């Protein structure tokens, strides 16, 4: 609160304090808090929470979380909330899908629930949120614990010593789009809000394994594994034990200042889409142990080729949003499996999870089902590239994503963004992100979905120098209706790295039929897909495609009567009940790729 506001004598804080948010911005929860311990042995705080939208941020302005029901003399005070009488909402879920009154609601909403806690001998306790869109301010038993920004990545809060037999957790969620956020205030998907992924209570010993990394060491000829362990707690020197029983491996990792790493010889069965082999990995340190199922593989690029385990591959993919007709962004495991099954039915071996980190369950399921993944942070379109705060936000989301999924064999590409104009500010911002990704994780490839240089009609973007793989979004035949430019565009380009066509496509209203000239029909979409695939087939430096998009998805920018506030570029209808004609074009194209190899 500024000095000026305090001087006025009739000042009433909760109605005159215009800078009320400042006090909450001082406690930021970021990637340094992240606990990632493999398969969850946590207790769920999911379930029905009390809920109220809060358009004017009254909870934060009037500090509802302090629950001041009486004054100093015990006289009852008037209040404008009644937590336990509010409506109840399921956590995880999106408020937009909870009730049609909230479909288009953007702003703050208050979630709260009581829960019991009994210490079972643990020394430390944490609460882990899978994701909250977009900002979360967390309060426990009237105390403000901190704020997380970033709508698609997990975060943790230590609550050791703050829990009673009966507790109240309260979270103020705000999904307002903001120019300086990541993503900014304009993007081509639906802005869901809520605590839409799991909330868990994690009980741990005083010293524990906070997270670990384990992967096939790049360039080791598939004969070396690297493992690293990060511990938290007073005993930050000692020996951790790593076991991979199926490989007869038992190694000691020396921990110094809370960190230890090791490289050792091993010749595991390599993970691939055809053979998604996973091993049980166990790490123990002091009286803590964690277990995870991990695949070992190597992804690499050489010239304009992509290699998986030393074999040239073509990424036969498709894009997908984290969107469901029924659940919004809170997609279920069944829906994830359905999406992967549909992709496999289309002969895919790869998916681009656009444009933000999807649930961690997606990469786990892809590990099991054998689907390679491109994962991405929402540095999308016209981000505020000149804003240092915005960069910190983007880098934090990238770090949270990498720390979360670093042990997932299915993830082969980290993408630092999508369709950004090639300005100096953007180059500085995104090249720094690319370097950060390579520094955090040398075992994967870094890419971004770049735009076509429409003036020179070629692949040209200064960010390419910092990428391992060039992603290119091109919409010849659709946004540029002259599909004949496509071949010229490819022939004009002379990339020295592998190129993935990270997006091409066209709108088609499901079941709308006509001629190949009738826009918004399946026939028009199919003719564009045929032109695209027949041209792409001829281009040797293209090593992957992920057409936009597996299924139609909600999008408030799409108001043509045939779109109905959906982006209808899907190869399936939004409810996935109908495969459009182009689905079969892609299925045949990918089947042909295998024969060609
Ligand atoms: C862009 C963008 C997508 C968008 C698509 C479209 O390439 O990356 O997010 O939905 O085009 O316009 O349909």
Give 236 Cα–ligand 1 centroid separation in angstroms.
Answer: 47
507 pocket-lining for ligand 1 (C-beta < 6 Å): no
Give 188 Cα–ligand 1 centroid separation in angstroms.
Answer: 6
**Which protein residue has the closest C-alpha to ligand 1 atom 10?**
188
96 pocket-lining for ligand 1 (C-beta < 6 Å): no
d(CA 67, CA 189): 37
- Can you give the length of the chain in residues? 597
Distance of CA 344 to the CA centre of its chain: 22
Q: Which strands make up the sheet holding 249-255, listed edge to edge?
A: 249-255, 238-244, 279-285, 288-294
- Predicted TM-score of the model (pTM): 0.97
- The pLDDT, as a whole number, for residue 8 is 85
Looking at the DSSP bridge assignments, the partners of residue 112 are 50, 170
Give 283 Cα–ligand 1 centroid separation in angstroms.
Answer: 42
Per-residue tens of pLDDT for the chain, all 597 residues: 566 656 689 999 999 999 999 999 999 999 999 999 876 678 999 999 999 999 999 999 999 999 999 999 999 999 999 999 999 999 999 999 999 999 999 999 999 999 999 999 999 999 999 999 999 999 999 999 999 999 999 999 999 999 999 999 999 999 999 999 999 999 999 999 999 999 999 999 999 999 999 999 999 999 999 999 999 999 999 999 999 999 999 999 999 999 999 999 999 999 999 999 999 999 999 999 999 999 999 999 999 999 999 999 999 999 999 999 999 999 999 999 999 999 999 999 999 999 999 999 999 999 999 999 999 999 999 999 999 999 999 999 999 999 999 999 999 999 999 999 999 999 999 999 999 999 999 999 999 999 999 999 999 999 999 999 999 999 999 999 999 999 999 999 999 999 999 999 999 999 999 999 999 999 999 999 999 999 999 999 999 999 999 999 999 999 999 999 999 999 999 999 999 999 999 999 999 997 765
Asked if 56 contacts 17 with a C-beta cutoff of 8 angstroms, the reply is: no
Give 187 Cα–ligand 1 centroid separation in angstroms.
Answer: 9
Query: Using a CB cutoff of 8 Å and minimum separation of 24, what contacts does 533-541 make?
Result: 533/585, 533/586, 533/589, 535/486, 535/487, 535/490, 536/490, 536/501, 537/589, 537/592, 538/487, 538/490, 539/490, 539/499, 540/304, 541/304, 541/493, 541/495, 541/498, 541/499
- CB burial of residue 111 (10 Å; 0-12, 13-18, 19+): buried
Q: Is 464 helix (H, G, I), strand (E, B) or coil?
A: helix
- The pLDDT, as a whole number, for residue 323 is 98
Give 171 Cα–ligand 1 centroid separation in angstroms.
Answer: 32
- The pLDDT, as a whole number, for residue 596 is 62
Tokens of 589: 């194209």
Q: In testing the pocket of ligand 1, which one of 378, 548, 569 has its CB within 8 Å of the most ligand atoms?
A: 548
- The pLDDT, as a whole number, for residue 4 is 60
Q: Which strands make up the sheet holding 108-116, listed edge to edge?
A: 87-91, 47-53, 108-116, 166-174, 135-140, 143-149
473 pocket-lining for ligand 1 (C-beta < 6 Å): yes
- The pLDDT, as a whole number, for residue 40 is 62
Q: Whose structure tokens read 């970033």? A: 150
Ranges of H-type helices in 422-493: 424-440, 485-492
502 pocket-lining for ligand 1 (C-beta < 6 Å): no
Q: How far is CA 326 from CA 94, 309, 405, in A?
A: 10, 39, 26
């Amino acid at each position: 609160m500024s000095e000026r506001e305090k001087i006025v004598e009739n000042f009433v804080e909760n109605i005159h304090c215009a800078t009320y948010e400042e006090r909450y911005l001082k406690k930021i929860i970021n990637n340094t808090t992240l606990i990632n311990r493999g398969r969850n042995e946590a207790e769920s705080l999911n379930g029905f929470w009390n809920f109220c939208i809060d358009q004017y941020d009254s909870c934060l302005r009037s500090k509802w979380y302090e629950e001041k029901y009486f004054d100093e003399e015990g006289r009852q005070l008037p209040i404008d909330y009644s937590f336990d009488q509010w409506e109840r909402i399921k956590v995880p879920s999106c408020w937009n899908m909870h009730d049609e009154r909230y479909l288009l609601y953007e702003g703050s909403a208050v979630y709260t629930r009581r829960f019991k806690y009994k210490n079972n001998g643990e020394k430390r306790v944490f609460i882990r949120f899978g994701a909250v869109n977009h900002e979360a301010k967390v309060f426990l038993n009237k105390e403000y614990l901190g704020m997380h920004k970033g709508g698609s990545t997990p975060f943790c809060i230590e609550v050791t010593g703050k829990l009673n037999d009966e507790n109240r957790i309260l979270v103020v969620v705000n999904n307002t789009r903001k120019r300086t956020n990541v993503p900014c205030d304009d993007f081509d998907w639906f802005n869901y809000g809520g605590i839409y992924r799991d909330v868990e209570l994690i009980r741990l010993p005083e010293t524990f394994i906070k997270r670990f990394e384990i992967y096939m060491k790049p360039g080791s000829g598939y004969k070396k594994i690297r493992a690293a362990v990060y511990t938290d707690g007073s005993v930050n020197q000692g020996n951790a034990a790593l076991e991979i029983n199926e490989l007869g491996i038992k190694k000691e990792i020396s921990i110094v200042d809370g960190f230890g790493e090791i490289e050792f010889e091993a010749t595991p069965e390599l993970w691939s889409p055809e053979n998604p082999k996973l091993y049980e990995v166990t790490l123990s340190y002091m009286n803590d142990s964690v277990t995870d199922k991990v695949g070992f593989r190597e992804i690499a690029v050489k010239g304009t080729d992509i290699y998986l385990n030393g074999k040239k591959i073509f990424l036969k993919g498709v894009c997908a949003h984290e969107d469901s007709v029924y659940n919004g962004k809170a997609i279920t495991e069944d829906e994830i499996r359905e999406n992967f099954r549909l992709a496999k039915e289309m002969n895919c071996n790869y998916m681009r999870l656009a444009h933000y980190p999807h649930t961690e369950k997606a990469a786990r399921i892809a590990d099991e089902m054998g689907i390679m993944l491109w994962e991405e942070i929402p540095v999308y379109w016209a981000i505020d590239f000149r804003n240092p705060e915005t960069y910190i936000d983007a880098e934090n989301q990238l770090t949270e994503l990498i720390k979360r999924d670093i042990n997932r064999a299915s993830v082969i590409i980290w993408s630092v963004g999508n369709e950004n104009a090639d300005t100096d500010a953007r180059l500085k911002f995104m090249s720094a992100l690319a370097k950060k990704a390579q520094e955090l994780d040398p075992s994967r490839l870094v890419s971004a979905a770049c735009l076509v240089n429409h003036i020179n009609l070629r692949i040209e973007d200064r960010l390419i120098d910092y990428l391992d793989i060039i992603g290119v979004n091109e919409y010849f035949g659709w946004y540029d209706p002259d599909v004949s430019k496509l071949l010229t565009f490819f022939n004009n380009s002379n990339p020295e790295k592998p190129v993935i066509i990270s997006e091409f496509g066209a709108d088609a209203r499901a079941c709308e039929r006509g001629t190949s000239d009738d826009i918004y029909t399946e026939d028009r979409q199919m003719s564009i897909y045929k032109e695209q695939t027949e041209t792409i087939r001829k281009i040797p430096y293209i090593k992957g495609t992920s057409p936009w998009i597996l299924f139609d998805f909600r999008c408030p920018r799409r108001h043509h009567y045939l779109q109905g506030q959906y982006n209808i570029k899907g190869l399936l209808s939004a409810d996935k009940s109908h495969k459009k004609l182009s689905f079969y074009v892609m299925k045949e194209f990918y089947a042909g790729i295998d024969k060609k190899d």
